[in-house]
Amino acid sequence: MRVLGLGKKKKEKGIKIDFDQSRGVIEPHKGEELIGPKRMVESMGLEHVIELVPGLVYRGVKGSSYYVVEPPLPELHKEFLISKGKEYVLARIKPDKIDEMEKIYEKAAEYAIKEAKIEPNEQLKEYLKYYLKREIEGFGAIDPLMRDPYIEDLTLPGRGSRLVYVYLGDLGDWFRSNIRIEEEEARRIVLKLSELIGKQVSLAEPRLEGRLPDGSRVHALYGEAASSGGTIFTIRRFVVRPTIEQLILWDAITIEAAAYIWVLIEHGSSGFIVGETGTGKTTLLNSLLSLLPKRKHIVTVEDTPEIYLPEHENWSSLLGSPPGMGPKGLTIVDLLRDVLRMRPDYVVVGESRGEETRLLLQFINVGHTSLTTFHSDTLEGVIRRLMSDPINMTPEEVASFKVAALLRRRGKKRGVVKIAEILKPPGEDKVVLNTVFYRKGGIEGPLVGDPIKTSKLFPEIAEKEGIPIQIIIEEYLDKIQELAERVDRYQREKARKDRKAVKEVTIKR
């Protein structure tokens, strides 16, 4: 995957093809030049262009539409070429010949072109090989979408145009793609998904739910028995979360606020992250966990795998089954009861709804740091929920979660709007929020705060550990410096990669 810079155009030899942005490739004009995918992208005036398959597949955005640009094949022969090529490959695939697959694809493309009585063309052969791999090894028509690292969700609705819709995490919105999937192809895709999940789906048993090998969550209804509009599916992608450096550069959080939370959780303060759907709760949680010492044992418990800590070797990821995923699966609560035997330093629940919170409190009481997310628009709303049925926590128990961050979203902007300490005043039967950071002027305003002056937890940590408060303050300032250096390194490395990508594209032309 590469973000592209567009420069001067250079002609590619072959056959010319017209491009209809609404549906893709039209019949080539014999004897003229072939306009390859890269040239198509340039002619369409797309933004946010990304190369998904080197030299072959690109995507871009224009308005509220998401375009996939794949290599052109002669429209009159396209189905025949792919069918003959697949027939050739499938007849020759053997377990002991996996390392020969590239040669098999090569021969299959040559065979299909010869059978179609088309004049041999190296470029056409390369393009056909892409489609054969897409159909046999990939996900068919949605394969480019599964390659896009910014797509968080994709769905095929049951009615209307039968166009796939995608949710782009970096742009924070849904886009209509130019991938149209008719019923027959939709059924093929769902059958392939069922094979990868390891479950059967049919007209008699049309419901499919499960996880793909990469952790993506699939929900599908096969045929018209359960969906009057025909086969439908939704795939919630397992995406690599943005780093803390990216969140800082996007103004989702400031260096100072990140350093403050870092100090607290490294010293054992538990807490939670609050926000409505799509505000970036798990993204922030993931980035904060990546800051913890690599030797510490982190145990994450989720029903959908969203937390990803590839550089943290002492990380255990437990996956439970949400309601409706079958009687044999372990729930989040089931798994949490086993976590204590794993001797964790940090216990993390992807999202708490009720009983999970009570179990996290038990972890806190025996000395483990617990972190989780809640779905709410206010911190006060979460506290009321914790102190009401069916959870019924006391003020002392709620205050065991020392810190909370609130995230909000407006349009494409999302980020932290408040960070507060959760306190229980001595002699009072209530919980008080001590705001340390807040946005001035709403989500678009700056996130301001000074924990050196306002934090009640800094002195509490110092007293508990028997150290001068100045040591905690120095740690906080050191982490500010470290984060600033990390952000600077990230920016310099990104600039270097962007320059290299533009150079490579220019050379290709």
Per-residue pLDDT tens digits for 45-104: 999 999 999 999 999 999 999 999 999 888 888 899 999 999 999 998 877 777 788 999
Average predicted confidence (pLDDT) for the chain: 87
Q: Which residue has the higher pLDDT, 34 or 424?
A: 424
3-class secondary structure, 438? strand
Exposure string for 399-412, b = 16+ CB within 10 A, e = fewer: bbbbbbbbbbbeee
Residue 160: the pLDDT is 73
Residue 303: the pLDDT is 82
- Indicate whether 165 pLDDT > 90: yes
Instruction: Answer yes or no: are the C-beta atoms of 302 and 241 closer than 8 Å.
Output: no
Residue 89: the pLDDT is 93
Report the alpha-carbon distance of residue 241 to residue 290 in Å, rounded. Answer: 11
State the pLDDT confidence band at 259, using cuts at 50, 70 and 90.
very high
Residue 329: the pLDDT is 64
| Exposed/middle/buried for residue 392 (C-beta within 10 Å: 0-12, 13-18, 19+) | exposed
State the pLDDT confidence band at 35, using cuts at 50, 70 and 90.
confident
Determine the residue type at 324. Answer: G
Pick the range with the lowest mean pLDDT from 16-25, 269-278, 359-368: 16-25
State the pLDDT confidence band at 135, using cuts at 50, 70 and 90.
very high
Domain 244-488 class in CATH: alpha beta
Q: Which long-range contacts (CB under 8 A, 24 or more apart) does 336-342 make?
A: 336/301, 336/360, 339/299, 339/301, 339/363, 340/366, 342/297, 342/299, 342/316
Report the alpha-carbon distance of residue 78 to residue 113 in Å, rounded. Answer: 10
Determine the residue type at 333. Answer: V
What residues does each domain of the chain span? 1-70, 78-133, 138-239, 244-488
Report the alpha-carbon distance of residue 76 to residue 32 in Å, rounded. Answer: 17
CA dihedral for 139, 144, 150, 156, sign (positive or negative): negative
Residue 28: the pLDDT is 41
CA dihedral for 296, 371, 457, 415, sign (positive or negative): positive
Pick the range with the lowest mean pLDDT from 126-135, 349-358, 417-426, 457-466: 349-358
Greatest mean pLDDT range, 4-18, 188-202, 236-250, 310-324 = 188-202
Report the alpha-carbon distance of residue 66 to residue 174 in Å, rounded. Answer: 9
Q: Which CATH entry fits the domain spanning 138-239: 3.90.1640.10, 1.10.10.60, 3.50.50.60, 3.30.450.370?
A: 3.30.450.370
Report the alpha-carbon distance of residue 496 to residue 334 in Å, rounded. Answer: 47
Average pLDDT over residues 437-455: 95
pTM score above 0.85: no
